[in-house]
Every structure is written in structure tokens, then in C-alpha cells.
């Protein structure tokens, strides 16, 4: 399994990053990561679109789901059957959003490993992992716009003024994650009545709204800054994509 991951995910991403860095007229590792992120996100559009659409369908079904849960609250078997029938009629699957998340997690792990291995090698690119047509630039300049060292990790015990740009990057990544999660849950919150505010699903939704950004902060503090840059650009891409999907869906509903 590790060999498949290495050949199909890790090596293509590693080579694409090195190739992008090498062809840039200026040696900016951050710009190379941004370009890599946009390319990867464009390739994952069909998968991420499916995730967004699946989430939206489930949000739209929340009132009916709640109704069935209350109707068959004393008979779990009938409740399960009724819910499965509802999903079948709506042509949706409550677990269909899991696969896109797993795929995106695999790419996140791959990009983390790329950044970690480059940093661990002293920012020296080794020929062993490169394709024949990818030129080895030798050493990597880890600076982004000349102010953020993307190979560095925030040391909470020795925070200095020079760490401010990197801390800002981490905070922006967390805020973008909050906005993206809020957009995903906005429709769901509208569909759930105030009376069900203590419902487990509602409580979990509220927790996820803050757990996502907190996880992003943790990753930004514990791992190289390059991963925060990837996370920020990736999340901004998802926000824009989600906005246009929502806009397109509203347009279709209006025309009908």
C-alpha cells in the first residue's frame, strides 16, 4: 500500500512542486506551493464538488430526517428503514461525502511528506526521487515573499517579532477553515428549528465549526509553515468553489 501511495501520489506531487519551483523566474518556494495547490485542487474538482453537493442534499433533508426520527423514536428498526427509503427517494447516500474527504486527506498527507522530506534533507533536492524530465534545481530557497520561512516551525517558547508573518499565515488558515465550515453548515442551521437546539446532530455541527479551525491552528503550529500555506490556499479554493456551486444551484431552482 505504501508503494502505491508513493508512486501514484507522493512522487507526482513531489516532482510537480520541484518542476514548478525550477521554472519560476524567481526562486520562491511559496509561489511554487500555491501553484501546486491550485493544480491539485483543479484535479480534485469532480471529487470535491460531489462532497459539497452531497453535504447540501443532506442539509436539505434535515427537516424530513428529524420528522422521521421523531415519528419512529421508539422503533429503531422502522426508523432505519424509513431513513433508507428517504435517502433512496432523494438519490443520496449519507456516507457519500466520506470518500472525497479521504481522498483530500491522502493528498494533504502527501504534501506534508513532501515538505517534511525536503526540509529534513536540508532543503537539498535529491535526484533519486525525480523523474528524468524534471531538472534538479539543487537547493531550495524556503522563503515565501522573502518574509516567511516555509520550512520552519513556530517555537512557542521563543516567539519573536520575526515570527509575526508566520503566525498571521496560521491564523488566516484557521479563519478560512472557519468560513468554509460555516458555509457548509449555514443551510443546515436554517433547516433545524430552535426547538431542536439540543439535538446531538446540532451539537456536533456546532463543535465541528470550531474543531476544524482549532485543528488547523494545531497543524500550523506543530508543522512546517509550508503546510499552512497549502491549507490556506486549498481552503480559499474550496470557499470559491462552494460559492459558485451554491449560486448555480440557486439559479437552477429559480428557473424551475
For residue 43, pLDDT beyond 90: no
What pLDDT, on the 0 to 100 scale, is given for residue 194?
Answer: 43
Mean pLDDT (the chain) is 79
Q: What is the mean pLDDT of residues 244-250?
A: 71
Q: Any idea which of 81-85, 114-118, 199-203 has the lowest mean pLDDT?
A: 199-203
- Look at residue 152 and tell me if it is in a domain: yes
- Look at residue 155 and tell me if it is in a domain: yes
What pLDDT, on the 0 to 100 scale, is given for residue 213?
Answer: 84
- Look at residue 73 and tell me if it is in a domain: yes
Read off the pTM. 0.76
- Look at residue 256 and tell me if it is in a domain: no
Give, in order, the Cα–Cα distances in Å from 188 to each of 2, 12, 129, 195: 38, 38, 45, 14
Q: Number of structural domains, the chain? A: 1
For residue 50, pLDDT beyond 50: yes
pLDDT digits (tens, 9 = 90+) for 7-16: 888 899 999 9
What pLDDT, on the 0 to 100 scale, is given for residue 195?
Answer: 43
Instruction: Provide the residue range defining the domain that includes 111.
Output: 2-251
pLDDT digits (tens, 9 = 90+) for 22-38: 998 888 899 999 999 99
pLDDT digits (tens, 9 = 90+) for 59-88: 777 778 788 878 877 777 888 888 888 877
For residue 255, pLDDT beyond 70: no
pLDDT digits (tens, 9 = 90+) for 151-180: 888 887 888 788 888 899 999 999 998 888
pLDDT digits (tens, 9 = 90+) for 90-106: 777 766 666 667 777 88
For residue 199, pLDDT beyond 80: no
Q: What percent of the chain has pLDDT over 70?
A: 82
With vertex at residue 83, the alpha carbon angle to CA 98 and CA 68, rounded to the nearest 5 degrees, is: 125
Amino acid at each position: 500500500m505504501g508503494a502505491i501511495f508513493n508512486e501514484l501520489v507522493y512522487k507526482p506531487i513531489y516532482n510537480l512542486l520541484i518542476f514548478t519551483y525550477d521554472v519560476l523566474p524567481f526562486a520562491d518556494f511559496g509561489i511554487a506551493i500555491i501553484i501546486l495547490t491550485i493544480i491539485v485542487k483543479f484535479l480534485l474538482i469532480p471529487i470535491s464538488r460531489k462532497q459539497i453537493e452531497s453535504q447540501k442534499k443532506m442539509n436539505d433533508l434535515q427537516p424530513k430526517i428529524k420528522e422521521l426520527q421523531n415519528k419512529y423514536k421508539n422503533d429503531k428498526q422502522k426508523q432505519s428503514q424509513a431513513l433508507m427509503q428517504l435517502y433512496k427517494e432523494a438519490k443520496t447516500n449519507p456516507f457519500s461525502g466520506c470518500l472525497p474527504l479521504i481522498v483530500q486527506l491522502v493528498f494533504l498527507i502527501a504534501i506534508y511528506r513532501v515538505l517534511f522530506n525536503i526540509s529534513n534533507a536540508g532543503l537539498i533536492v535529491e535526484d533519486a526521487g525525480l523523474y528524468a524530465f524534471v531538472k534538479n534545481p539543487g537547493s531550495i530557497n524556503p522563503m515565501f515573499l522573502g518574509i516567511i520561512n516555509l520550512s520552519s516551525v513556530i517555537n512557542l517558547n521563543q516567539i519573536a517579532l520575526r515570527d509575526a508573518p508566520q503566525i498571521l499565515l496560521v491564523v488566516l488558515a484557521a479563519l478560512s477553515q472557519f468560513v468554509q465550515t460555516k458555509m457548509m453548515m449555514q443551510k443546515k442551521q436554517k433547516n433545524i428549528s430552535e426547538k431542536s437546539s439540543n439535538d446531538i446532530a446540532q451539537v456536533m455541527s456546532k463543535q465541528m465549526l470550531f474543531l476544524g479551525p482549532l485543528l488547523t491552528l494545531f497543524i500550523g503550529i506543530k508543522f512546517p509553515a509550508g503546510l499552512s500555506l497549502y491549507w490556506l490556499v486549498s481552503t480559499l479554493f474550496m470557499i470559491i468553489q462552494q460559492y459558485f456551486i451554491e449560486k448555480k444551484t440557486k439559479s437552477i431552482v429559480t428557473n424551475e
